[in-house]
Amino acid sequence: FVLAYRSADFQRMPDLTSMPSDEEGRFVLYVPGPGRYCLAARSKTRGQPRTGEPYGTLGPGKDACRDVTAG
């Protein structure tokens, strides 16, 4: 799953969650409109990541964020 946050605060519930990614890691994440989204990926969508659970971001802090434009 890909989790999207409106800020780089990953210590809370995500604002948006994708459906599970495919076998090659591709995913679709629907966002309500343009803006900045900070992304994380993990194998589950509920609760805190557990020891050994795959979890990652695109980088530390704001490096994990991407700007989305309309269209």
pTM (global) more than 0.85: no
Contact assessment for residue 31 and residue 4, using Cβ atoms and an 8 Å cutoff: yes
Convert the pLDDT of each residue in 19-69 to its tens digit.
999 999 899 999 999 999 999 998 877 777 778 888 889 898 889 999 999
Q: What are the residues facing 38 on neighbouring strands?
A: 5, 65
Torsion of CA 43, 24, 18, 37, to 10 degrees: 100
Q: Residue 48's CB: how many other CB atoms inside 10 A?
A: 8
